[in-house]
């Protein structure tokens, strides 16, 4: 069996950074939810690995009141907090982007556990991706479609704007 070692090493590094962030949050009693590309990847990979697209960083949603806790404990977990609310490691390509308000996310949710990480539920990810509507968001929605994850339950109750955006993504490969 052929294994893409470059991809696997990159995935392992990214998940290690996410786990360190999880440990930081657990130690400081900070609620968080993994959002963005890594969240989409973690939902898709178990279902349709060939449709799972890896990202370069971890996006995490936290309560803004938790930032001071993150700042106090970052170094203990091998992170440096930048003024742009990025947690970087000594190998600066490994980072966590912190968001306090993000399209579709008003507060950290309980999340769904994947590999021990609290990941935004698929419905919330879909709403966030369609709300933000940047190119990468459209790509992530397309990945969800190709993995067969679009169900009537996910699509129900979308407002007219979000339904039009979803239909656009479905129509454009």
Q: What is the mean pLDDT of the segment spanning 139-159?
A: 92
The rounded mean pLDDT for the chain is 89
Percent of the chain with pLDDT over 70: 91
> Which domains, from first to last, does the chain contain?
5-171 (3.30.460)
Lowest mean pLDDT among 19-33, 43-57, 73-87, 97-111: 97-111
Burial 16-48 (b: 16+ CB within 10 A, else e): ebbebbbebbeebebebbbbbbbbbbbbbbeee
Q: What is the mean pLDDT of the segment spanning 24-43?
A: 93
Residues 105-131 pLDDT 10s: 555 567 788 889 999 999 989 998 999
């Amino acid at each position: 069996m052929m294994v893409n070692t470059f991809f696997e090493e990159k995935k392992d590094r990214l998940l290690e950074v996410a786990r360190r962030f999880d440990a930081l949050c657990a130690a400081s009693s900070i609620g968080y939810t993994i959002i963005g590309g890594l969240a989409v990847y973690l939902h898709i990979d178990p279902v349709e690995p060939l449709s799972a697209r890896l990202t370069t960083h971890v996006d995490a949603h936290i309560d803004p009141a938790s930032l001071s806790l993150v700042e106090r404990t970052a170094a203990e977990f091998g992170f440096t907090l930048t003024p742009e609310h990025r947690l970087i490691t000594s190998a600066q390509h490994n980072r966590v982007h912190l968001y306090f308000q993000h399209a579709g996310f008003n507060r950290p949710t309980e999340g769904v556990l994947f590999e021990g990480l609290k990941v935004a539920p698929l419905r919330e990810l879909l709403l966030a991706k369609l709300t933000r509507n940047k190119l990468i968001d459209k790509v992530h929605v397309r990945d969800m479609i190709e993995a067969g994850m679009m169900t009537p339950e996910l699509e129900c109750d979308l407002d007219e704007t979000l339904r039009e955006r979803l239909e656009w993504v479905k129509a454009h490969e």
